[in-house]
């Protein structure tokens, strides 16, 4: 159970790799796996033919009840399992799954999950419905937040670290050459988002207004809408402008070819607006048109990455690519701090003087490329080993419930 089918590269990469790991670990056992998805076509071909796809919508209560009732084990596999950063409804989805499994006396495990600092009704709901769920948390901070909720688990990592995609990397190189790269100039990747329209919240009034006026510009889906205000729009404009300032300077000084990456189809507008600010040669790719293997392949061609997307960082690290993080939440903070790169290469979307900060980091990254790459390689190995340990723990956990 995750956030699959929405063309979110990170969410899909997590589950593609998780299914591969469990397929290998459970080989020979009589086990059937199902992946829930918001859109079957968007993940068609991601999984082996024996893995079932189970469609659901953002009005998920009935389809989730059917899914949990027809399976023996639930695996909560979204990174942002219990957080309020993006949408409380997403946490409610996982809480409902955990609660139904608990009521039916069936095991539930959260696999590589983020747990934020929750308060109020969402904290109470998480404590009540997830008390029998075991969490393999993604970070030490998540584990602390988990324990504050009175829930149990241990620290693991994100499941996407070992993802391999040789075909995606070959496609990416050829596509970049087709789209204007000369094969020699440095490739500067930029993964942009709109950090200021989260969280998504349900609103019956905004839904009725959208139906009557036909204006669906800020509608996520059905009755769910992005946050909006004059202040938020100005912050978004400033974020794009500051990032473009740094990218344009680096591009001029290094004759770089800029690759703009939309890691989720929702990033399409942010990519378009950012592209208008880039002064030199550039190309835009987003997951609306390119699958998880192609997007990962593109990340692994880069010489340097500037990212506001957590999984752009994770998926690029397999090639030890130096990066500068422009974070909107604790996930990206965490992975950069774990690699001990935070002092020089971690910034935040609303930092004062962001453009100058990014510029300084890009210049430092060029000067210390080998040191950064070696640090990332060590971190990559540690996390791949953690992923293997998580799979072994899962099998032991499973046997405890069904022996």
| Nearest one of 45, 296, 48, 25 to 163, comparing CA atoms | 296
Examine the pLDDT at 312 and tell me if it is beyond 70: yes
- Percent of the chain exceeding pLDDT 70 equals 100
At residue 93, the pLDDT reads 94
Region 214-227: what's the mean pLDDT?
Answer: 90
Query: For the residues of 299-336, what is the DSSP string, one character each?
Result: HTT-SEEEES-HHHHHHHGGGT--EEEEESSHHHHHHH
Dump pLDDT digits (tens) for 79-127: 889 998 889 999 999 999 999 999 999 999 999 999 999 999 999 999 9
pLDDT at 305 over 70: yes
pLDDT at 38 over 90: yes
What is the mean pLDDT of the segment spanning 367-376?
A: 94
Measured from the Cβ of residue 94, the count of other Cβ atoms closer than 10 Å reads 27
pLDDT value of position 28: 67
Q: What is the pLDDT of residue 35?
A: 96
Q: Cα(first)–Cα(last) distance of the chain, in Å?
A: 24
Residue 62 is encoded by which pair of tokens?
């009935």
Residue-wise pLDDT for 130-173, tens only, equals: 999 999 999 899 999 999 999 999 999 999 999 999 999 999 99
Please list, in sequence order, all residues whose beta carbon lies within 8 angstroms of the beta carbon of residue 87, skipping any fewer than 6 positions away. 198, 199, 200, 201, 220, 224
Rounded-to-integer distance, Cα 132 and Cα 134, Å: 6
Q: Is the pLDDT of residue 27 over 80?
A: no
Share of the chain above pLDDT 90, in %: 86
Split at pLDDT 50, 70, 90, the class of 30 is: confident
Cα-trace Rg, the chain: 21
Helix, strand, or coil here: 280?
coil
pTM of the full structure: 0.94
The pLDDT value recorded for residue 31 is 86
pLDDT tens digit sequence for 256-283: 999 999 999 999 999 999 999 999 999 9
Answer yes or no: are the C-beta atoms of 42 and 11 closer than 8 Å. no
* Residue 190 exposure: Cα atoms within 13 Å on the Cβ side: 32
**How far is the C-alpha of 151 from the C-alpha of 24, rounded, in Å?**
29
Q: Give pLDDT tens digits for 236-246.
A: 999 999 999 99
Question: Which pLDDT band holds residue 361 (cuts at 50, 70, 90)?
Answer: very high
Helix (H, G, I), strand (E, B) or coil at 348: strand
Cβ 77 vs Cβ 18: under 8 Å: yes
Instruction: Give the separation between CA 21 and CA 392, rounded to whole angstroms.
Output: 10
Q: What is the mean pLDDT of the chain?
A: 94
Mean pLDDT to the nearest integer, 44-70: 92
- DSSP annotation of 136 reads E
Confidence bin at 402 (pLDDT 50/70/90):
confident
Listing DSSP states for 342-364 in one string gives HHHHEEETT-TTHHHHHHHHHHH
């Amino acid at each position: 159970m995750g956030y699959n089918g929405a063309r979110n590269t990170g969410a899909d990469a997590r589950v593609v790799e998780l299914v591969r790991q469990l397929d290998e670990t459970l080989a020979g056992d009589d086990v059937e796996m199902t992946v829930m998805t918001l859109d079957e076509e968007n993940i068609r071909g991601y999984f082996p033919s024996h893995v079932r796809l189970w469609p659901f919508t953002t009005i998920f209560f009935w389809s989730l009840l059917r899914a949990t009732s027809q399976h023996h084990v639930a695996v909560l596999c979204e990174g942002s399992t219990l957080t309020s950063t993006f949408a409380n409804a997403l946490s409610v989805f996982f809480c409902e799954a955990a609660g139904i499994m608990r009521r039916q006396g069936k095991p539930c495990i959260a696999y590589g999950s983020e747990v934020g600092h929750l308060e109020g009704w969402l904290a109470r709901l998480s404590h009540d419905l997830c008390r029998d769920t075991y969490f393999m948390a993604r970070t030490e901070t998540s584990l602390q937040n988990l324990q504050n909720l009175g829930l149990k688990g241990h620290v693991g990592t994100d499941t996407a670290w070992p993802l391999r995609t040789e075909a995606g990397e070959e496609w990416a190189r050829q596509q970049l050459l087709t789209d204007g790269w000369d094969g020699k100039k440095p490739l500067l990747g930029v993964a942009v988002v709109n950090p200021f329209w989260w969280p998504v919240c349900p609103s019956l009034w905004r839904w009725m207004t959208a139906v009557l006026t036909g204006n669906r510009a800020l509608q996520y889906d059905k009755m769910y809408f992005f946050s909006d205000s004059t202040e938020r729009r100005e912050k978004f404009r400033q974020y794009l402008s500051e990032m473009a300032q740094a990218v344009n300077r680096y591009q001029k000084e290094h004759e770089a070819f800029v690759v703009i990456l939309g890691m989720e189809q929702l990033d399409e507008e942010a990519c378009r607006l950012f592209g208008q600010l880039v002064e030199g040669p550039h190309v835009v790719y987003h997951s609306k048109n390119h699958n998880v293997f192609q997007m990962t392949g593109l990340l692994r061609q880069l010489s340097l990455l500037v990212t506001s997307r957590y999984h752009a960082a994770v998926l690029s690290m397999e090639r030890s690519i130096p990066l500068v993080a422009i974070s909107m939440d604790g996930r990206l903070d965490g992975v950069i701090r774990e690699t001990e790169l935070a002092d020089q290469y971690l910034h935040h979307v609303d930092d004062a003087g962001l453009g100058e900060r990014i510029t300084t980091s890009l210049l430092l990254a060029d000067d210390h490329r080998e040191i950064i790459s070696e640090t990332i390689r060590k971190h990559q190995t540690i996390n791949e080993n953690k992923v293997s340990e998580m799979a072994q723990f899962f099998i032991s956990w499973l046997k405890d419930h069904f022996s």
